[in-house]
Amino acid sequence: MRRGTVVRWAIAGAGAGIAATVWWWSDRAPYPYAQRRMLDMQLPFLTNHRLDALLGPRPGERVLEIGPGTGLQALHVAVQLGATGRLDIVDVQQPMLDHVMRRAAASRIDTIVPTLADAARLPFPDASFDAAYLVTVLGEVPDPAAAIGELGRVLRPGGRLIVGEYFDPHFVPLVTLLRYANAAGLTLGARLGPPLAYLAQLRRH
Ligand SMILES: C[S@@+](CC[C@H](N)C(=O)[O-])C[C@H]1O[C@@H](n2cnc3c(N)ncnc32)[C@H](O)[C@@H]1O
């Protein structure tokens, strides 16, 4: 093959590689329900045990989860809220909500309430929740700043918001999260995990 042809192929290959990388890292599509089995595994550093440590769910509380997926965290948290508590789950995909509700019914949990909605437009009045959390969700939301703003709005004063992020194409660095949080009247209370797999606790003023 002539040298000029080789160079042209090399440039075309490099361009395609860069385009694929940009697409991969900027993709914000919701996690596909068809790949739900992957969601049943706890990620290193983002375990339910660590979520408990920052969320501290108590009996009788009203808590909000954004993007429950198949319910890895939802079932675990709902049990801790007891019969007088309530866990609202919000997702943009009805199959995810249906999946969680089937699992809840199988476990005889009747305190989970599903709502089909976008995190950036939450259909709840101000100060409705004692706490809220979202794990590996924020980077999938097309307007993450608006979502954190909405979470700040629906939390009662003193309420806590836990955000879990993992190093994947949707990763939101802590410094970016804190920018959204400050604009929403939330401040960092605590953090667990390394910078690329963290759980952050934010507090509403
Ligand atoms: C990667 S899964 C995480 C599921 C679960 N939190 C876990 O850790 O296993 C992301 C979830 O967020 C939901 N999601 C994506 N964009 C959303 C949005 N704008 N508003 C609400 N939920 C959203 C997806 O449908 C999916 O259920």
- Quickly state the pLDDT bin for 19 (edges 50, 70, 90): very low
31 lines ligand 1 (CB under 6 A): yes
For residue 178, what are its two tokens?
């804190």
Mean pLDDT of the chain: 92
Percent of the chain with pLDDT over 70: 87
Q: How many CB atoms lie within 10 A of CB 54?
A: 21
Ligand 1 center to 18 CA (angstroms)? 27
Q: What is the mean pLDDT of residues 36-53?
A: 96
Q: List phi, psi (to 5°) of 175.
A: -65, -35
Ligand 1 center to 92 CA (angstroms)? 8
Task: Tell me what pLDDT residue 14 has.
Answer: 59
Q: pTM above 0.75?
A: yes
67 lines ligand 1 (CB under 6 A): yes
Residue 198 has pLDDT above 90, yes or no: yes
Given the CA of residue 164, which atom of ligand 1 is nearest to it? Answer: 8
Q: Cα torsion for 190, 195, 197, 199, to the nearest 10°?
A: 10
Q: What is the mean pLDDT of residues 59-88?
A: 98
Q: Which residues contact 160 (CB under 8 A, 6 or more apart)?
A: 54, 55, 56, 130, 131, 132, 189, 201, 202, 203, 204
Residue 30 has pLDDT above 50, yes or no: yes
Q: How many CB atoms lie within 10 A of CB 131?
A: 25
Q: What is the mean pLDDT of residues 31-38?
A: 94
Ligand 1 center to 33 CA (angstroms)? 10
